[in-house]
Amino acid sequence: MSSSPKTFLVCHGAWSAGWAWRKMHPLMNEAGHRLLTPTYTGLGERAHLAHPAIDLDTHITDMLQVIKYEDLRDFVLVGHSYGGMVATGVADRARDNVKQLIYIDAFVPADGQSLLDFLPESEQNRMRDLARSGDGWRVPPNPTPPDTSPEDVAWLNERRVHTPLKCFETKLKLERGPLTLPRSYIYATRTPPLNVFGQFSKMTKSDPAWRHFEVDASHSPNVTAPEALMALLEKISA
């Protein structure tokens, strides 16, 4: 058992959902913590609710509703990948409830920034073209990193679903100014050729308001390196 039990609330990535955190639940239970991994509207087991108007604000609201109905206080908020966009909005609206914020290889937006703002123009166009060539409003999943086991690739591919383009286009609105709560960044060092998250690693490394950590894993350590991720989350939240 670790020193004190904590509650972790995860804002998951695009194309993903709560199910992708399956390997983390037994590790959290064993350490005496509570792990909540709700799924956003239109993804995972809620894919049947998908529609073109779903955007970043929908997903921020999803998480705020979980905080309200689960009566969460003094918890650790975790944002993975696109979930960094969601977690930033959630931390802004629920400042009195969030104890600290941990980004895992995630986007760290300021007020008025969208996810697409952090991507090169070629990548923005690629995502928009993919949506256009499909049903017009959804982007299919990016490929899984090369170090993902064949079993995990099969597990992921069977469950990942297209994500509404508006989620990536919506500009984050911070209602209460810049965040001041304790923040940490976990950078996954097995980077793909288009190293999108390097910019956030660099930014958080040089900012004294942040704690910076690295994990020897590719983009989804909750899938490929759960024990290493667990050790880091314990260390950071202690």
Please give the positions annotated as active site: 81
**Backbone dihedral angles phi then psi of residue 147, each to the nearest 5 degrees:** -90, 10
Taking a C-beta distance cutoff of 8 angstroms, is the pair 59, 163 a contact?
A: no
Distance CA 199, CA 55 (A): 24
**Backbone dihedral angles phi then psi of residue 157, each to the nearest 5 degrees:** -60, -30
Angle of helix 83-93 relative to helix 56-69, nearest 10 degrees?
A: 50
Of the candidates 129, 106, 130, which has an alpha carbon nearest to the alpha carbon of residue 118? Answer: 106
Of the candidates 60, 109, 102, 96, which has an alpha carbon nearest to the alpha carbon of residue 78? Answer: 102
Question: Strands 163-164 and 138-139: what pairing?
Answer: antiparallel
